[in-house]
Amino acid sequence: MTDTPTPATTTGLVVLPYRTDRGDPAWVFRCWGTDTCDGWLSLDHTSQQSAERARDRHVNEEHQ
């Protein structure tokens, strides 16, 4: 019997780097929605920490 890795839990919340249309580096926070939330897209953060703060605010306001 081989050990099979457990799949990662999908939360529907992501913070990722991307490039803007101008080619500038930026960060995005995306919520794909839940039973209590229709979803959210927050673009053009200048840092990962800024996108994470947007995520945390969104979770506190919409995922109660």
Residue 41 has pLDDT above 70, yes or no: yes
Model confidence pLDDT, tens digit, residues 42-64: 999 999 999 999 999 999 998 87
* Model confidence band, residue 11 (pLDDT cutoffs 50, 70, 90): low
Q: Give Cα separations from 44 to 23, 28, 41, 55, 58 (angstroms).
A: 12, 6, 10, 13, 16
Residue 33 has pLDDT above 60, yes or no: yes
**Between 6 and 23, residue with greater pLDDT:** 23
Q: pTM here? A: 0.77
Residue 1 has pLDDT above 50, yes or no: no
Residue 29: which H helix or E strand, with range? strand 25-31
